[in-house]
Amino acid sequence: MKVKITPLKSVNIYGIDERSLSNIAWCATANHADHLFWVNGYLICLEPYEKSLECEEDRSILPIGQLCYARLPKYVKSYEVEKSLQIPIVDVSDMGLYKEIVDAIERLQTRTRGRKRADAKVIESTK
């Protein structure tokens, strides 16, 4: 038997949204997700882009159709969605792939904040 370890060249995220913790948890359970991920203060739910998984596998690309995230400063093992309905949360802070995804989220937030400030200055200067 041959074992081959192929590092990813790229993770392509096609949709990304910041959502409330309760909305992510409800959406995940309604869509039959087994668990959510916690990475250094972020709760993440990701949905692989299933149609392209086979095509991209040969090129070492991981396609993610949708990624939703919320701030969750302290790790908890589960989140109560409703009474008697909980979803497990897995701490993956020590995994490289997830750390890279959170880095990308933080870069996106920095760019977005900068854009909002610039937009505010433009609106302010037109008054």
Considering the domain boundaries, does residue 3 fall inside one? no
What is the reported pTM?
Answer: 0.79
Q: Which is nearest to 88 in space by CA: 100, 78, 97? A: 78
Measured distance CA(12)–CA(42) in Å, rounded: 19
Its domain, for residue 105, covers 10-125
Considering the domain boundaries, does residue 1 fall inside one? no
Measured distance CA(55)–CA(65) in Å, rounded: 14
Count of domains observed in the chain: 1
Considering the domain boundaries, does residue 2 fall inside one? no
Considering the domain boundaries, does residue 4 fall inside one? no
| pLDDT tens track, the chain, 127 positions | 999 888 888 888 889 999 999 999 999 999 888 999 999 999 999 987 665 555 555 677 888 889 999 999 999 999 999 888 999 999 999 999 999 999 999 998 888 776 655 544 444 444 4
